[in-house]
A = this chain, B = another copy of it.
Amino acid sequence: MEEQLDEINRLLKERHFSEVKNRIKDENPADLALLFEELFGENFDEKAEFMMLFRLLPRDSAAETFAHMNGDMQGHLIGMFTDKELREILDELYIDDTVDMIEDLPANVVSRILQNSTTGERKAINDILRYPKDSAGSVMTIEYVSLHQDMTVAEAFEKIRKVGVNKETIYTCYVTENRRLIGVVTVKDLFTAEDDEKIGDIMETHIISVDTHEDKEVVGQMFRKYNFLALPVVDKDNRLVGIVTFDDAMDVIEEENTEDISRWAAVSPNEDSYFRTGVFKHAKSRIVWLLILMISATITQLITTHYEDAFKVIPLLVSFMPMIMDTGGNCGAQSSTLIIRGIALEEIHFSDFFRVVFKEFRISIIVSSILAVVNGVRIYFQYGWYENNLLLAITVALSIVATVILSKMLGAMLPMLAKKVKLDPAIMATPLITTIVDCTSLFIYFNIATIVFSNLMR
């Protein structure tokens, strides 16, 4: 790979253009975009080579390669394009890719794009841009095949052959009447029907569609559930305004996953990838939760201060604090993570509340008993069971059992309660659970210690 890059770089610099052209002609656009990124991603000083390489792309993959590039690259390319080149690329791009690109570009570049679009394209772009940021409307495309119910199968085939080249998918066709969506027919249906059958007779009329303003997360869930190739997007009067294709749905699912994962780690989600997000933006998206969690730790501080007398008498108590807090945090994290994921995959609902809590209770009994016993054995070997150490082992064992049970309960309940009050369950992930569990586990630990060692503390 590395060698291949150097080779193409050398060939470009030595102006062996036909050789370069030959090497890249069969590559997939996704790989070509990666090649551009790896050759020129870090700096755009070598603008001349960059533009040259782009002009050497085969005609039919130039636009798709362009669509795979990141916003920076697209912006730079557009700056170097002639109006004619720009129009050619825009003509080849699907409207949803154009809209994706526009959202990332500076205003002056955007206005150049709009100037070089047709009136129809401009209207379509503006329509899609008007939908709320995370709505189904914002991820849809308008390039679908529409049919009439009176058409025969043969006529439908003819229409697809005529208009299909410019459609993002031809495999699912939409039957409309006065712009209202009345049926769906797949190319597979067409293939298995007779030429003279009417579309109205073979179309599926029980249509699953999504509203333009529906959250795109729901779009992802529907694709996951139904394995669609494309999902129709309708307005409130059931008029077909666009479709979401499976590749865009896959992007949505990946984005939602990344967003969830960020939240789990107490990072406010960023739209951009790791490297494309600046240092200050990274810091900003991390500091909020860190501050909240740090301030909440004041509670653990108050608890610890309150039991100062206990560890003044038995200093060894302090040394078990990290272990008990961590074990509680890890147990809570395990439960909350599994429950949050289950909610996201729609396997767990609020109606399962008691079923989940009871299950976690039983799991925590098993897990905590094992941990307590192992820890008792460890204390025996490390300190021996004489004098206060037996009491200490008992304190730690009881604390582990109580902490594990409580943290697993909390880890299971809090995400479900969050969902119930329409919060994102992911905020109840590891960091917040850990902080909550820290307080409860220290409280439990010192209380048990005070009782067990009561004769020493008087």
B-contacting residues of A (Cβ < 8 Å)?
26-28, 30, 160-161, 164-165, 170-171, 187-188, 191-192, 205-206, 208, 223-227, 229, 246-247, 250, 253-254, 257-258, 261-262, 264-267, 273-275, 279-280, 282-283, 286-287, 289-291, 293-295, 297-298, 300-302, 304-305, 308, 311-312, 315-316, 318-323, 325-327, 329-331, 333-334, 336-339, 341-342, 345, 347-348, 352, 355-356, 359, 362-363, 366-367, 370-371, 374-375, 378, 382, 430-431, 434-435, 438, 442
Contact = CB atoms under 8 A, between A and B. Distances in A.
Given A170-B188, A274-B348, A286-B334, A261 B30 contact: no
Contact of A326 (B160, B274, B342, B435): B435
Given A333-B431, A431-B333, A366 B279 contact: yes
B294 A305 contact: no
A64 to B, nearest CB: 10
A319 B347 contact: no
B279 A362 contact: yes
B274 A367 contact: no
Given A286-B334, A315-B308, A327 B171 contact: no
Contact of A250 (B208, B224, B267, B319): B224
A11 to B, nearest CB: 19
Contacts of A347: 273-275
Contacts of A229: 229, 246
A301 B283 contact: no
- Among A261, A302, A308, A371, the most chain B Cβ lie within 10 Å of the Cβ of A261
A434 B258 contact: no
Nearest to A167: B188
A37 to B, nearest CB: 11
Nearest to A434: B326
A315 B311 contact: yes
B319 A305 contact: yes
B327 A318 contact: no
B311 A26 contact: no
A280 B367 CA distance: 9
Contact of A287 (B282, B338, B370): B370
A96 B427 CA distance: 38
Contacts of A250: 223-224, 227, 246, 250, 253
A170 B187 CA distance: 9
A206 B27 contact: yes
A431 B308 CA distance: 28
Contact of A283 (B366, B374, B431): B366
Contacts of A287: 366-367, 370-371
Contacts of A371: 287, 290-291, 294
Contacts of A336: 265
Contact of A323 (B170, B253, B301, B348): B301
A342 B273 contact: yes
Nearest to A161: B191
